Structures are given as C-alpha cells and as structure tokens.
Amino acid sequence: MKTYNFNYIVLVLALGLSFQGVAQQVIKPSDAISLALEHNYGIKIANNNVEIAANNKDILNSGFLPTLTGNAGATYNRDNISAEFTNGESTTLNGATSSRYNAGLSLNYTLFDGFGRRYDYKRLKEEYNLTALQARATIENTITQLLTVYYDVARRSENLKSLEETLKISKDRLTRAEYQFEYGQNTKLDVLNAEVDINNDSINSINIEQSLINAKRNLNFVTGNTIDNEFVVDTTVAFLIQLNKDELLDKLYINNVTLIQNEKNIAINEFTLKANKSGYLPTIGLTGAYGWNENNNNAAAFVAVSSNTGLSGGLNLTWNLFDGGGTITRVKNAQINLENQKLEKDQLKLDVTRNFNNAWDDYQNKLRIFDVQKSNIKTAKNNFLRTKEKFKLGQATSIEFRQAQLNLLSAELNKNQAKYDAKLAEVLVLQISGELLNVEF
C-alpha cells in the first residue's frame, strides 16, 4: 500500500508538470534576439546616441547658414528741465516727458573662414558614422551576452532533466530495495543507502532548479524584462559547419567593428587637423542690418518728433596674424593624435588577428571535445544498462550500481557543457569576424 501511494503521487506530479510544460512559452534564440533588439536598454541608449549624432551632423549645426537677430527697445523719460537760450530767454519745465522706440534686424554671414567649418562639417559626419558603429558594437556585445545567458538556460534545463532522470532511477531502486527487504533478500542497509542517494539527488535537483530560475531571470533582464509568462528555451543546437577560416579572416579586416571604428577615428583626426590649420587664414564676413527709430522729445528740444529707417550692409575681414601660438599648438597636437590613431590601427589589426586565431582554435577544440563527450555518453549508457541488469540479477552491488549511475550523470552533464561551450565559441568567432549580425540563430 505504501509503494502504491508513492507511485500515485509521482504520477500526479508528473502529469501536473506535463500540463504546465504544455502551457509554457517556447523562446527560440531568434525570438530572444528580436526582443533584445527592441527592448534592451543598452541598445535603446545607443540608438538615442545615434540620433544625437545625426542632429549634430545636420546642416543646422554646420555653421554654413547665416544668423539673423531681431532687437527692439523702448525708453521713457520724465525730467525737470531748466534751460537758457542764446537769445537770453530761459524756461523751466517740470515733468517734461520724452520717449524713444527702436527695432531692427541684423544679419551676419561668414563667407570664408579658412575652410574651418567645411572640415568641421565633414568631421561631424564621420562622428555620426563612428556613433553608428558604436551602436553596432553595443548590439553585437548585447547579442553575445544574450546568447551566453540563453545557452546557460538551455544547459541548465538539460541538466535538470538528467538529474530528474537520475532521481527517478534512484526512486525505482528504493522501491526495489524495499521489496527485497520485505522478502528477506537484502538488509536494511541497502534501503538506507537508497534513501541517502535519493536525498542527495533531490538536493541536486532542487539546486539546479533554483539556478535555472535565476538564469531565466538573467535572460529576461537582457531582453528588457519583456517575457511575462513562464517559458522554456530551445535546447537544439546546430553548428555552422560550413564556416571557413580563411574567408572569415578576409571578412575580419573589412567587417570587424573595432577596426572600422579606428578608421573613422583616423578620418576624424584628419579633418580636425585641417580645421585647426584654418586658423592660419583670414575670415571674411558679410553683415547687414535694417533699423527703425522714433524719438518723441520734450518741449525743450528743437525737434519734437523724429523717426528714421535705414538699411545698411558691409563686408569685413579678420586675420589673426598671431594668436600667441595657440593655432600652432593645436595643429601640432592634432598631427600627433593622427599619428597615434594610425599606430593604433596597426596594433589593433595584430590584436584582432590574434584574437580571431585563438577563438577559431578554441572553437575547433571545443567541437572535438563535444564529439568525444557524445561518444563517452554512449559508453556510459551502455555501462549503466549492463550494470542495471546485473543489479537486478543480484550480480552487482548497490555501490556498483550507484557508481554506474553517477558515471552516466557525469557524462550527460559533461556533454551538455561541451555542447554549449562549443556553440558559444562559435558565437565569439562570428563576433570577431564581424559576421555575428549576418547569421540567423
């Protein structure tokens, strides 16, 4: 009766878990990537920075457009006046009022500034391109982080299944040990050992289940906390076996985002150098103004009311012949910065090439380890099945059975680890070569 109740409880729990599994949402890698691209906060911030850079490179921020300023004013006076005229007459005015009004428009336009704004405008365009590349780097890093977390969830999910299967085997062993003890075929020690193993397997299952919950939270965090329901991930892993090292290496020098960013920094420094050299040349500007003035004078003035309107224009030239050496210093520093960027380009190329070769070799090595682990698990399964049959026939001890069981579990966990290690190594190869965004997962 005791065994029947235990099996009934296990059956009910299994059915409950199966129904729960049916209701769970399945998130594929492509689904998670789409959610992250739309909702990840780091990507949103990077996209906003691109918008700022787009505003900065607009014609409105180029300095090529004129400035137009409007001004207006009014003045009111109330005075006490004593005046003597040349003919000997005099007058006294108390509370004499007068007022003045003016309005005008002034226009300023730089016709030539030594090509400074021209190169500044080109620099702003390159800074926009650099910001777009920085956003792309953020996206690539986020996707790499996402896939790392995603495959961690997948690995822990498979590990949980293996541990649950191990626990199921241990429970079957306890049931058998209890039957054998009731019929005098073994001792109470065998039952106690089986119970200890069940407890250990239960603890392991509880721990991996909690770590799986935490890993799912991490995945949901990277996607912007957009997965509302309970979900599972796809544990199917397909490797891109058609990858060619030489082809990827060629694409690396064209598509690697770090190298491209360095090229944009070189272009920015070239334009900065040219813009600083514009300080050696004069500035020619055009000015224009339109004004209106009206004066309402007090009684002591010769003219009671006067008004005038006028239009004026002019051309001015400014040439800073010597500014204390500021322009010379800026040009020298810009030349040094440009040289540093070119040196950094050579260093980055060596660094990226080394990283790619290391990542490629690591990827190939992990694929080989995965193949070995797949072969190893076949051996472990075969050994466990043989030991299980011997255990049923009384030809193997419970210790030998437990060891075979643990060997199988270890082989399954190692295979899972090797599979996802190989996939993440592949992701790193794609990221370094600049192909990560061109591959569907």
Tell me if 217 is assigned to some domain: yes
Q: Which helix (H) or strand (E) is 39 found in, with range?
A: helix 29-39
Count of alpha carbons within 13 Å of 323, Cβ hemisphere only? 15
Condensed to tens digits (0 to 9), the pLDDT of residues 270-316 reads 999 999 999 999 999 999 999 999 887 766 666 777 788 989 999 99
β-bridge pairing 90-112 and 25-27: unpaired
235 and 331 part of one domain: yes
CA 271-277-283 angle, 5° bins: 110
DSSP H helices in 284-397: 326-392
189 in the same domain as 163: yes
Average pLDDT estimate for 325-333: 95
- The whole domain housing 385 covers 24-65+133-280+326-438
The mean pLDDT value for 379-392 works out to 95
Task: Please give the pLDDT value at position 95.
Answer: 75
d(CA 195, CA 191): 6
Tell me what pLDDT residue 310 has.
87
Claim to verify: residue 228 and residue 368 sit in the same structural domain: yes
Task: Note the pLDDT tens digit of each residue in 394-427.
Answer: 899 999 999 999 999 999 999 999 999 999 999 9
Residues 126, 264 contacting (CB under 8 angstroms): yes
pLDDT of res. 92: 78
CA distances to 79, 102, 309 from 293, in Å: 21, 4, 6
Whether residue 53 contacts residue 128, with contact meaning beta carbons closer than 8 Å, is answered with yes
pLDDT tens string 57-81 = 999 999 999 999 999 999 988 877 7
pTM of structure? 0.86
Give kind and range of the element (H or E) at residue 204: helix 188-222
Residues 35 and 92 in one domain: no
Mean pLDDT of 209-215: 97
pLDDT of residue 300: 62
Nearest to 424 by CA among 158, 34, 244, 154: 154
Q: Check whether residue 146 and residue 61 sit in a common domain.
A: yes
Highest-confidence segment of 146-150, 221-225, 303-307 = 146-150
What pLDDT, on the 0 to 100 scale, is given for residue 305?
79
Q: 10 falls in which pLDDT band (50, 70, 90)?
A: very low
Judged against a pLDDT cut of 80, whether residue 37 lies above it is answered with yes
421, 292: one domain: no
Please report whether residue 9 resides in a domain: no
Q: How confident is the model at residue 215 (pLDDT cuts 50, 70, 90)?
A: very high
Average per-residue pLDDT in the chain?
90
* Contact by Cβ (8 Å): 38, 244: no
Q: Is residue 53 a contact partner of residue 132, using CB atoms and an 8 Å limit?
A: yes
Q: Domain with 430 in it: what CATH number?
A: 1.20.1600.10
Q: How far apart are CA 158 and CA 149, in angstroms?
A: 14
In a domain, 5, yes or no: no
23: confidence class by pLDDT, cuts 50, 70, 90:
low
CA distance 219 to 246: 34
Is the pLDDT at 2 greater than 50, yes or no? Answer: no
Do 234 and 333 fall within a single domain?
Answer: yes
Q: For residues 259 and 363, state if they share a domain.
A: yes
How far CA 265 is from CA of 140, 259, 333, in Å, comes to 20, 10, 15
pLDDT for residue 307: 83
